[in-house]
Chains A and B, each alone.
Chain A
Amino acid sequence: MAENILVIGGGPAGLHAAIELAELGVNVSLVERDTFLGGNPKKFKYKYLFPDLQPADDVIGELIRRTESNGNIKKYFSANIESFKEEGKKFNAVIKSDSGSETKTFDSIIVATGFEHFDPAKDSKYSYQLFDDVIDIKDLERMMGEGNFTRPSNGKTPKNVAFILCVGSRDRHVGNQYCSRVCCTVSVKQAIELREHFPETEVYIFYMDIRTYGFYEDLYWKAMEEHDVQIVKGRVAEITSGPDNTVICKGEDTLLRGPFEIPFDMVVLASGMEGGPQSPEMANKLGIELDEHGFLKYANVTLSPCKSNKDGIFLAGACTGPKAIADAIIEGGAAAMNAYIYAKKNS
């Protein structure tokens, strides 16, 4: 008899895990809170993915197509786990979805509940929601994806744009002390895209330090060398009204100019990642641990990175901490292998 495995979350990690398991002949139940597959990249219409600026649709679209065409994957939309009980080595779950309630028994579970974009409205100093022309990287990604990048205030192409890094990350005011890992790379990627599409638009990046780790370092070399992006060391302290319908970014250029007050047509906030709202709910329902940052906790971060503290429940993707899509997909595969081994042993 085939194994039954529950995958919670239909983003990159969950989709990849479901596909791998299905190809091993497992009966996969894929539970998705939204009405569509693809997670945040789909929801916020990501356009290009770093590091190679591959169209997001080639990656996320491909995962969705493979999921949809595989008969071993049963998909539940607008779904959640209504109740959950352990029985010996197995798990009983009631899945409530747009097609009603269903009770099923599973051999193992993969939690891939993902992350939430930090809402910059939570940090007053950036004046997000106060000034129309202050947006964040997910807003910009959507605008680029829809092909209508203009100033929200007047529909015109901006003369200059500022990116502000570390919004909602590495900031105790908002309670997020951690680095969100991907926002630097996404911002530099977006800066390059803006310069390519709108060569008349000046682009600035204000940073505390640029964490384009590993090979992603190539990106800011490229941004500076080929696209003349201005990269300035100094976090922005205030955003206020500027002349001619601009917004002023005020801060300290800690290396060169000292205090600055520069009017911009647009400001893009590199808002970070927070634990998905489903993560605490899952932690509570399934009896797994949440860490102090609001993400799900590995049993052992080096030895068994896909295992939760509970046998038979595995973790994948950004629900355990900020990470890039490529890493989330790798974890989906690793979690699938762990979940499969566990199910095999106990069925």
Chain B
Amino acid sequence: MEYDENGVSIVSNEFKKEIFEEAKKDFRYEEYVKGCLNCGVCTGGCPPHRFFDFSPRMVLQNCKSNDPELVWGMMDEYVWACFQCFTCAMICPFLNNPGGVIAILREISVRRGFESAKKVLKPYSRVLLKLTAYGNQLSPDMIQPDFFPDWGPHIGYASQDLPLKRKAIPMPTLQVTNLAWDVAPEAMKELYTIFEEAGVFKIIEVVDPALYEIIQDIVDDVRSE
């Protein structure tokens, strides 16, 4: 992609069209985008609509417009406002799935390494690391006051004597501190094969090359154990 002197990307109409076509080619698109008469049920039930400039009705309308410009207009912060709660999908009388469309558009944004996606995902790197390298997510030792100051002083509970407190949890799989549960290396190795074959590692390489390097080091270590 090209950028002007202010770092703003210059996007051609052809490129916008290419992005829209990529969305439409996704095998889920047809299932998610049907008809829409602006009844507003989806947006009426949409939780983030009350806090953000985001409307599932507009997501559907933009897709139905066949105007790549309107779809392109959602590719920056707009698609990241969605809570992925699927209230819209549950109540749409046409059985559209605007939340599903958002997932498709986000995946394109990440796959193509758009700046907006990189920016949004930056604070994710710890979670992304745990999830991709260990098949796990929120580990007990991640819950530290530095990272969650707004969760109050009690968050510090997890930073003192953590190994002991985890040992006191009467499930042997949980008696670790660096993972939510002690994932078996053979499960991790299978996961790596899945991520390689499905192109998940490649996605992360595009969107966060530094993180990708760290993940690959861990993958190599686990595989050589």
Contacts and interface: CB of A to CB of B under 8 A. Distances in A.
Given A252-B57, A259-B44, A235 B94 contact: no
Contacts of B45: 237-238, 250-251
B113 to A, nearest CB: 34
Contacts of A234: 39-40, 44
B88 to A, nearest CB: 9
Given A209-B37, A259-B44, A172 B93 contact: yes
A134 interface: no
Most interface-central of B43, B57, B87 (chain A CB within 10 A): B43
A251 B91 contact: no
A251 B44 contact: yes
Interface string B72-91: 00000000000000010001
A269 to B, nearest CB: 14
B95 interface: yes
A233 B95 contact: no
B50 interface: yes
Interface size class of A (residues with CB under 8 A): 20 to 34
A259 B40 CA distance: 9
Nearest to A251: B44
A172 B94 contact: yes
Given A209-B37, A234-B44, A254 B91 contact: no
A208 interface: yes
Contact of B44 (A166, A170, A173, A237): A237
B89 to A, nearest CB: 11
A89 to B, nearest CB: 46
A238 B40 CA distance: 12
A253 interface: yes
Interface size class of B (residues with CB under 8 A): 10 to 19
A252 B43 contact: yes
Contacts of A237: 40-42, 44-45, 87, 91
B202 interface: no
Contacts, number: 63
Interface in B13-62: 37-46, 49-50, 55, 57
Contacts of B94: 172
Given A252-B57, A254-B40, A259-B43, A171 B50 contact: no
Interface of A is mostly: strand
Most interface-central of A251, A252, A260 (chain B CB within 10 A): A252
A236 interface: yes
A251 B50 contact: no
Nearest to A249: B44
Contacts of B42: 237
A208 B91 contact: no
A125 interface: yes
Given A208-B39, A209-B37, A259-B50, A238 B93 contact: no
A236 B95 contact: no
A235 B39 contact: yes
A172 B44 contact: no
Contacts of A170: 93
B91 A125 contact: yes
Contact of B40 (A125, A166, A235): A235
Contacts of B95: 172-173
B41 A235 contact: yes
A177 to B, nearest CB: 9
B189 to A, nearest CB: 44
Nearest to B50: A259
Interface in A167-212: 170-173, 208-209
A254 B93 contact: no
Interface of B: 37-46, 49-50, 55, 57, 87, 91, 93-95
Interface of A: 125, 166, 170-173, 208-209, 233-238, 250-254, 258-260
24 contacts: A166-B39, A166-B93, A172-B93, A172-B94, A172-B95, A233-B38, A234-B39, A234-B40, A234-B44, A235-B39, A235-B44, A237-B40, A237-B44, A238-B45, A250-B44, A252-B40, A252-B49, A252-B57, A254-B38, A254-B40, A259-B44, A259-B49, A259-B50, A260-B44
Closest 5 CB pairs of A and B: A251-B44, A252-B40, A237-B45, A237-B44, A252-B44
